[in-house]
Amino acid sequence: MNIHFYKYQGAGNDFVIIDNREASIALNTSQIAFLCDRRFGIGADGLMLLQNTAEADFEMIYYNADGNESTMCGNGGRCIAAFAYHSNIVGKQTTFKAIDGIHDAVILPNNNVSLHMSDINTIQFENGYTIMNTGSPHYIKEVVDTDLVNVFEEGRNIRNQAIFQPKGINVNFVTPKEKGLKIRTYERGVEDETLACGTGVTAAAIASVKQQTGIFQVAVKAKGGDLSVMFEKRTADTAENIILTGGAKFVFEGNIEIED
Ligand SMILES: N[C@@H](CCC[C@H](N)C(=O)O)C(=O)O
C-alpha cells in the first residue's frame, strides 16, 4: 500500500500526519511502528490520523511511535490543527475531537498554535513528586538541574514502577528558572526522551504553582523549543481554562510504501 504523509513538529516533538477523511486507511501496530521508525521509516515520536466526525471539524486519532493508540498529545494536537489549516480543511480557529474530548485551537502568527487542554480534576501532591492527567498521565519531579539528569535511565525506572502499571506514565524532570521552567521528558510509548511533550509541559507548569489558586502564565523551555501555558486554579488540586501555546511547523511531505 502506498501512503501520502505529512511530517510536522512542535518544539521538536515530531509527528507523521495522514489525511484519512475518506476512511480508506487502516494501519496496524507494526505498520505504524514502521512509519515512525527513524532508520527504516519516516521517523517520528507519534502518528496521527485526521478523520471526519459529526461532533467537530475533524477527529485526531493518536498513536505513539511503538504503534499503539494512546491518550492525548498536546504537541500533536497543535500540529494537526496547523496541518488542517494548511490543508484548507479549517480556518484559523478550529474545534476538533480527541480521545479526551473536544479541543479548541487557534492558528497564530509565526507558526504558533494555541490549544485549549482538558480541565484537570485532581492533582496529586506526593512527597517529592506530583501526578496529574492533562489528557495523558504525568509524573513531575523537581530537580536541581535537568541537564544533570539521566532522563532515559531515571525516566524509564519511574515509568516502569509497579504502582503505575499496567498503563505506565510519562516522566518529567523540571528545574525552576528565573522566569519559568526548564523541562526534560521521558515519554511512554516512545520509550525514550523526546525533545518536548505538550501534555508534560502543561502538567509541569501547573505543578510549579503548587497549591496556590489564581490565574497563571508559565514559560517552559523544552530541549526542542519554548512553550507557554496559561491556566486558572480555582482550588488547590484542580486546574481549568488551560491554554498551551508554541510552534507547530510543517517539515516535509512524501509518499511511502508499506507492506500489508
Ligand atoms: N508527546 C505528547 C504526548 C503523547 C502521548 C504520550 N506518549 C503517552 O502515551 O501518554 C504530547 O505532546 O503531549
Cα of 201 vs centre of ligand 1, distance in Å, is 10
User: Per the annotation, where are the binding residues for substrate?
Assistant: 13, 64, 74-75, 170, 187-188, 198-199
Are 163 and 140 contained in the same domain? yes
Q: How many domains does the chain have?
A: 2
Cell of 188: 511512554
> In this structure, are 7 and 91 located in the same domain?
yes
3-state helix, strand, coil in the chain (%, to 5): 20, 45, 35
Please check whether residues 130 and 102 belong to one and the same domain.
Answer: no
**Residues with Cβ within 6 A of ligand 1?**
13, 45-46, 64, 70-71, 73-76, 136, 170, 187-190, 197-199
pLDDT tens digits, 50-76: 999 999 999 999 999 999 999 999 999
Residues whose CB is less than 8 angstroms from the CB of residue 109 and which lie 6 or more positions away in sequence, other chains included: none
Atom 4, ligand 1: residue with shortest CA distance: 73
Residue 115 lies in a domain: no
What are the pLDDT digits (tens) for 188-243? 999 999 999 999 999 999 999 999 999 999 999 999 999 999 999 999 999 999 99
Residue 123 pLDDT greater than 90, yes or no: yes
Q: What is the mean pLDDT of residues 9-34?
A: 98
Sign, CA dihedral 196-56-43-152, equals: positive
Q: State the closest ligand 1 atom to the C-alpha of 77, by its place in the atom list counted from 1.
A: 12
Identify whether residues 90 and 150 lie together within a single domain.
no
Mention every residue, 6+ apart, whose C-beta is less than 8 A from residue 224: 9, 11, 12, 13, 194, 195, 196
254 Cα–ligand 1 center, Å: 24
CATH number at residue 76: 3.10.310.10
Which whole number is the average pLDDT over 5-32?
A: 98
Asked if 127 and 243 sit in the same domain, the reply is yes
Count H helices and E strands in the chain, helices first.
4, 17
The whole model's pTM is what? 0.97
Cα(184)–Cα(150) distance, rounded to whole angstroms?
A: 10
In a domain? residue 44: yes
Considering the domain boundaries, does residue 128 fall inside one? yes
Has 79 been annotated as catalytic? no
Task: Identify the domain containing residue 216 by its residue range.
Answer: 123-247
Please tell me the predicted confidence (pLDDT) of residue 8: 99
Please indicate, yes or no, whether residues 75 and 6 belong to a single structural domain of this protein. yes
89 with 139, same domain: the answer is no
Active-site annotation holds for 197: yes
Same domain (yes/no): 161, 229:
yes
Structure confidence at residue 189 (pLDDT): 98
- Whether 99 and 156 share a structural domain: no
| Average predicted confidence (pLDDT) for the chain | 98
Place of cell 482538558: 118
Share of residues in the chain with pLDDT > 70 (%): 100
Within 8 A by CB and 6+ apart from 127, the residues are none
153 closest CA partner among 136, 167, 173, 137: 173
Amino acid 260: pLDDT:
86
What is d(CA 45, CA 70) in angstroms, rounded to the nearest whole number?
12
Active-site entry in 27, 42, 197, 218: 197
Which of ligand 1's atoms lies nearest the C-alpha of 188? 7
Check whether residue 253 and residue 242 sit in a common domain. Answer: no
Nearest Cα neighbor of 134 from 226, 64, 228, 238 is: 238
